[in-house]
Structure 1
Amino acid sequence: MQVTMSSSLHSLPWPAQTLVSNFNSPLELKQAHAYLIKTNTPLSLIPPSRIASVCALSHLDFSYAHRLLAHFHQRQIVVWNSCLKTLAESDSPFDAILLFRRLREFDVVPDSFTCAFVLKACTALLDDKNGKIIHGVVEKFGFQWNMVLQNIILNFYGLCGEMSTARLVFDKMPQRDVVSWNVMITHLVKSGDFEGAYGFFSRMPERNVRSWTMMISACVHSGRPKEGVELFMEMEKIGVQVNEVTVVAVLSACADLGALELGMRIHEYSKRSGFGRNVRVLNTLIDMYVKCGCLEEARRVFEEMEERTIVSWSAMIQGLAIHGHAQEALRVFSMMIEMGVMPNGVTFIGLLHACSHMGLVDKGRRFFSCMTRDYGIIPEIEHYGCMVDLYSRAGLLQEAHEFIMNMPIKPNGVVWGALLGGCKVHKNIELAEEAARHLAQLDPLNDGYYIVLSNIYAEAERWEDASRVRKLMKNRGVKKKPGCSSIMVDGVIHEFVAGDDSHSQANEISDMWEKLLDYMKLKGYKPDTSVVLLDVEEKEKEKFLYGHSEKLALCFGLINTPPGSVIRIMKNLRVCEDCHAAFKLISAIVNREIVVRDRNRFHCFKDGACSCQNYW
């Protein structure tokens, strides 16, 4: 017989109130139960949720609680669901699974909430076995019409890496909402299936800001920043309100593209929209300005920050390093330490880059040593790569080789690639061959290593060896990546490939180069044909030089941008010695600043000089 509420808790003496409402163990519950029976007081004064929580984890106590809860008007499953929710969100989510098993043993009929809470526990544990059992319960009791529950199931399979099963669930869903689509896109992106994610995004009947933001972020992480920017522009066009996560995603795309104009526009938008003080947005702004070659703006953002995290400091140090401002990077680090901010591994990558780009070998050694000694940071492969790069750039090739041989972790392609690059600069064929052998094993399809070794042979006029390396590339199906440079003018990105004359302004670009060439020759310029590593006539080599992609982009920029404005160019490969020399002269001739971001660093050409101080 069910009991009814005939008296209130406050009608009991104070000690009894505490006993009945605040018991913390099955024993105390039984004492409260006994007291109520003895005083002929209704059992309904005992909080049912507390009965469930103190008895959930013991089989005998659960049986007792199950019998006790049968006397309440409230459906038992509602009480147990509250307990399941608490356990699923606790540090021991497996307890929710154990409780669910007991519910089934005692034939307590679950509802959709029961399944949702237990599935969340399975998701937290990535427990695919029990998760599939709960999925079966969902099907058995006809809960597949519950869209929230179906979305939880999608998320469960996605996190467990079972995308094929997730797709089946998605396809069978009687109805879907924007969350269903977003869950699928999220996990397709995480699994590396960008095309699949984009396919789902394209088919979405309705999109929210999360949908757009996820795809923009996916574009950035999969090396498609241009598509990310295009999505953002489409998002703007149809009037979707962005949030700070969107701002971070599109700023990252701008950083990768060097799209300064759009980045600055988003910076202004973030100020107007209240994101201007968001630390994550500000950190991304620093990164964007650095990568777009606008170091002064990066400094301004950093200096105006009310709160700085280690990410802020590390981004500024790294930015100064790749722009060739090594001493300033070291000063920022000293300031950071004085303010009590502890460095992390990323901070030291920036410091080692700074030392490497300016030949500060002794300081680089000291930083590498103090990482572990003073800050307890264990060097990772990136730090070892920086040290090899530091030694190799400085011409300490034997020391770099010994460092690699004594590494406590296996060197990767970046490490051996740094040595190979140093061998090219300092013309050490023997070590170059050893580095190339290791690289061929570690990354046999990377065209860069073959090209560098072939060029080293060509510089030494060992044409047969150079030809042999290129034949090896061909036999292995490795294709040389063409030099490609890009420049943004009036919000449009223009791309140029080495030797390409298909641009609509190709004739104007050619005329501009001829004019510049005449001026440069008056100032003593001689084409450095040594960088054209082909066994052809000198005049033919000069033609190859003039077709370098960064020169095409520069001429286009001079034609299409206002006099005196900064020209910013991005290149996918390292700038060659001839282009470097030419750009220094051109910066003085046209009285303009030219900023070039290549694969390794920034070169800021101004008044006939470069920020790298010719150490690159």
Structure 2
Amino acid sequence: MYGKCGSVADSFAVFQRARGRNLYSWNMMLQAFALNGDLSRAKNLFDRMPQKDVVSWTAIMAAFAANGRLNEASLLFDSLPCPNLVSRNVMLAAYARAGHLESAWKAFNAMGERSVASWTSMIQPLAELGKVEVAQQIYDRMPMWNVITSTSILAAYTQSGNFDMALEAFDSMPEINVVTCTVMISCYAACFQIEEALKVFDSMLERNVVAWTEMVHAYADLGHLEEAKLLFYKMPCWTLVPWNVMLLAYAVAGHLEDAKLMFETSPSRSVFSWTAMIQAYSCRGDFAQAEDILLCKIPMMDVVAANTMLATYTLAGCTDKAERLFETMPVRDEVTSDTMLVGYSQNGELLKALYFFKEMRHRTASSWSIVVLECCRNLGLEEAKVLFQNMPLVSSSSCAALVELYTLSGLLMEARQLIERMLQVDITSWNMLLAGYSLNGYCDDAKRTFDGISSRNEVTWNSMVGAYVQNGQLSRAIEMLERMPQLALVTWNTLLGALLQNGRARESIHLFHQMLLEAVTPNAVAFVSVLAACSHAGLVSSSCHYFTAMLSDYELAPVAEHFSCVIDLLGRVGRLEDAEVLINFSPFPPSIVVWGALLGSCKIHSDFERGVRVAKSILELDPTHDGSLVFLSTVIT
């Protein structure tokens, strides 16, 4: 009991006084040392044990593994006379947590018997490393699941941006707990579906401080600061984390006074709190106050705080100040170097970035990726290829950048070969290739690529719809729309515009109705399409209805394109006076295109008097406008 409560000295005193020590008491004392991180005394006790069982071996092995001493843990495991399932799971989890996936695979495949913990030990690290497809394959092979395993795969989908699959997995889970719901709140927030996140939060039978904090974070991340504040003050108890979440939200939003209030009333402060205040002052352009915190007020200059100041300088274009701070920093990390590289690149100083990279003693995968990305954006394909080939460890982002460069250059075969050579490829690279096939008219290749992608996201589906639209296969595009697990507004807009461009105005209007039935809120682009479709179909009353609904139901301010569509329609059906009145009352100055459409309608309906006025208005904008000059000469003749 003393050992479990952290009182190792009391526990050891009781152990020493005990006369009849048995294997159980030795194991309890060993576990006490192990749980409290006292490895030297744990190992010493283990070596002195008169007899040992698998529990003893597993306890000492787990202690070394938990403290990052994997080699010693591995040696102990190899010496274990009869390892059982528990000890094998401990070693498997140790390999996986340390990122030694090859060793973890060997241990996993060598297991004659596996428990749910064995499978979960493989899934969790793969998910954390972004290897979602491999994690999914293992998950699908599992004979049974528990809530921990299901939550692991759910978190993997969320972290990798596969939100559709995350939502599908959550809906099919037979059992959920507070952790599962917290992951889903994070997932919905990442999808900008704050109402759905709130539904999950409200449905939770129990909530811990992490769940409350995640919901506050969701509101804050999406800019709903008032809702975040109200929820924050409803929390039954606080840790420093939710205080810092609110503090950072105010800082990023530029609400300096609110940030200062949160900072001053916080029950305690961490380096994160001070760093958020540096960001708050920096966002307001008050570098002097930010520097004062970093150099004078913060208890100890932390590398995270210094990196924040460094990033602020580079974002403001002050690379000279960033260089001076970099030289004076007592401690630097990978983020420090990456921030300088990104700063030089964003400010157009690519040569400085390349020189800085050349002088770096330790080049990380991220620093290589930054340089390759910038070379892809600013230099030629050959220079980017040379750097890419020299990378000691290729990242998914650098692979995606080179794939994009290949596709923009029309080298689609090379792009595909690059992806197929990579051991780790994320969805971004496949989406780049898919977009390349689409833009270049290779619809069949796009479909084959689409069918081969197991974990698709919204961009994947939209790219395939775009490929069909680009090639005029609208029926297939609509079929693809019906198959999509979650319909995005950009997809609807793409199809609305495509139907309109192909002369299928009434189908475009029908699709707009279908979009409303699917509870998708139309934006200004969607209304331009439906108003233009009404114009082409000659539907005046429908056009007026949509124009009014845009203002009253959806609170969208009409732009010049919306007025143009209605004016064009009124002209087409002969309501020329109404069209002219709308032009004069429109808040936007009429363009030559708008006047030109009305002039065309005046010709069709033989309203020459109005046509003369319209032609003169056009000539005021463009004295050389041929159509107006021809119309006036015809009228005069």
TM-score range, shorter chain: 0.3 to 0.5
Higher normalized contact order (CA 8 Å, seq sep 6+, divided by chain length):
1
For normalisation by structure 1, the TM-score amounts to 0.48
More helix by share: 2
For normalisation by structure 2, the TM-score amounts to 0.46
More strand by share: 1
